[in-house]
Structure 1
Amino acid sequence: MLMFIWSYILILLVMTLMIFIKFNKHILLILMSLEFFVVAMFYVWFMYFSVLDVNQFISLYYLIFSVNESVLGLTIMIVIMRSEGSDYISSFSLFKW
Structure 2
Amino acid sequence: MSETRLVWSSQAAGFERRHEAEPSFEEWLEFPVDRDLEQLRLLADALCCAKPVRPVLDRSLRVLLPHEAAQQLVLPDSFFNLSPDELLREQEARWVSRLMRLRE
Shorter-chain TM-score range: under 0.3
Q: Which has the higher helix share?
A: 1
What TM-score, normalized to structure 1? 0.25
Greater relative contact order, per chain length (Cα 8 Å cut-off, separation 6+): 1
- If you compute each CA radius of gyration, which structure gives the higher value, 1 or 2? 2
Q: Which has the higher strand share?
A: 2
